[in-house]
Homo-oligomer: A and B are copies of this chain.
Amino acid sequence: MYLYSNIIGTFVFNQNMQIREKILFSKSDLKNNYKKFQENELLNSEEKLLKKFKKIRNLRTDPDEKLLSKVFLVMSEYDKEFYENNLYVTKLQIKDSITQDLLIVQTIGSVNELKKSINLLSKRLREWYSYVLPEVEEILYDHFSFAERIAVDSPEKLMKDFKLKITMGREFSKEDLAAIKNLASTILDLFDEKQEKEDYLEKLMEKTCPNLTEVAGFLTGAKLMAIAGSLRKMVMMPASTIQLLGAEKALFMHMIKGTKSPKHGIIIEHPLIQRVDRKDKGKASRALADKISIAVKIDFFKGEFLGDKLRKQVEDRFR
């Protein structure tokens, strides 16, 4: 007597390799147990089987796994079930592969794309509004405050506020002006959406990778993870690769054409690197990338929180 479990169910074979007893799995069984398949554990339904058929004696599990599975495979009556259950489990596996860090990658991606859209439309707004009040463009150099003032205030109000006596702009009909104001409002909506995504990103980062967030900051940390592709991929990278994430082009130019090798990728955005002298930026990047590499590993393997200590170590070194 042999006991054999696979994706369809648990089977008891006799010496002649004929099925004596079986318990077939339902899809809900699979849903609950497919992780155990992964880990090659026996399914709990086996216990059920044992209880159900107490009379079965001399039961040996896994005497010749290969033989049993071969025997099983030639029994075409189970083909359809085998195919369907396999497909189902594969889908469950895909479901499970969507981890929290992928949400971070998507969110930082959307932040970047919102930023691009804002820049694109803000440039258009500035060019367009220069027909109304060209003088304002130089005063409000920040895209957000520019869009905000245009959306809310009339040209007359702006002229008064900025003490402009004469403008080179043309007088606009109400309708022509409304078209510009609407564009400004749309840009403000995009700014709102970007802010909302950044807030959400911060929460995600603090929950999923508290150590990375503490050491690199949530925005830089998320950008690094997005370039790496996932937290898992980042864990497998040496610190020197993390240091250069975002400087791929410069690195390839270095390798192909022998230009100077880059010292830092987007890690340079980190306030710590921003603060140190130019000549120390390379060193500081390397030290920070080291700590980030450690932080990422702690996060991935759910270790205890050490982010503050790691951060302090780099900060103390480059004070």
Residues of A with Cβ closer than 8 Å to B? 88, 91, 94-96, 98, 102-103, 106-107, 109-110, 113-114, 116-117, 120-121, 124, 127-128, 131, 166-170, 175-176, 179, 182-183, 186, 189-190, 193, 196-197, 200, 203
In the assembled complex, the Cα of A91 lies from the Cα of B166 at a distance in Å of 8
Are A175 and B193 in contact (CB-based, < 8 A)?
A: no
Kindly provide the distance from the CB of A14 to the nearest chain B CB, expressed in whole angstroms. Answer: 36
In the assembled complex, the Cα of A168 lies from the Cα of B92 at a distance in Å of 6
In the assembled complex, the Cα of A283 lies from the Cα of B88 at a distance in Å of 57
Further contacts, 13 of them, CB under 8 A, given A98-B170, A106-B128, A116-B120:
A98-B131, A103-B176, A109-B124, A114-B121, A117-B120, A175-B200, A175-B203, A179-B196, A179-B200, A182-B196, A182-B197, A186-B189, A186-B190
Kindly provide the distance from the CB of A129 to the nearest chain B CB, expressed in whole angstroms. Answer: 9
What are 12 A-to-B residue pairs whose CB atoms are below 8 Å?
A91-B168, A102-B131, A103-B176, A103-B179, A106-B124, A106-B128, A106-B131, A117-B117, A175-B200, A179-B200, A183-B193, A183-B197
Which residue of chain B lies nearest to A134 when distances are taken between CB atoms in the complex? B94
Which residue of chain B lies nearest to A194 when distances are taken between CB atoms in the complex? B186
Which residue of chain B lies nearest to A127 when distances are taken between CB atoms in the complex? B106
Copy count, this protein chain:
2
Kindly provide the distance from the CB of A154 to the nearest chain B CB, expressed in whole angstroms. Answer: 18
Which residue of chain B lies nearest to A200 when distances are taken between CB atoms in the complex? B179
Are A110 and B128 in contact (CB-based, < 8 A)?
A: yes
What are the residues of chain B within 8 A of A127 when measuring CB–CB?
Answer: 106, 109
Are A179 and B107 in contact (CB-based, < 8 A)?
A: yes
Are A124 and B110 in contact (CB-based, < 8 A)?
A: yes
A98-B131, A170-B95 are contacts. A110–B106 as well, Cβ < 8 Å?
no
In the assembled complex, the Cα of A127 lies from the Cα of B94 at a distance in Å of 15
Q: Which of B96, B121, B168, B203 contacts A110 (CB 8 A)?
A: B121
Are A169 and B95 in contact (CB-based, < 8 A)?
A: yes
Are A121 and B113 in contact (CB-based, < 8 A)?
A: yes
What are the residues of chain B within 8 A of A170 when measuring CB–CB?
Answer: 95-96, 98
Which residue of chain B lies nearest to A201 when distances are taken between CB atoms in the complex? B179
In the assembled complex, the Cα of A166 lies from the Cα of B116 at a distance in Å of 36
Which residue of chain B lies nearest to A118 when distances are taken between CB atoms in the complex? B117
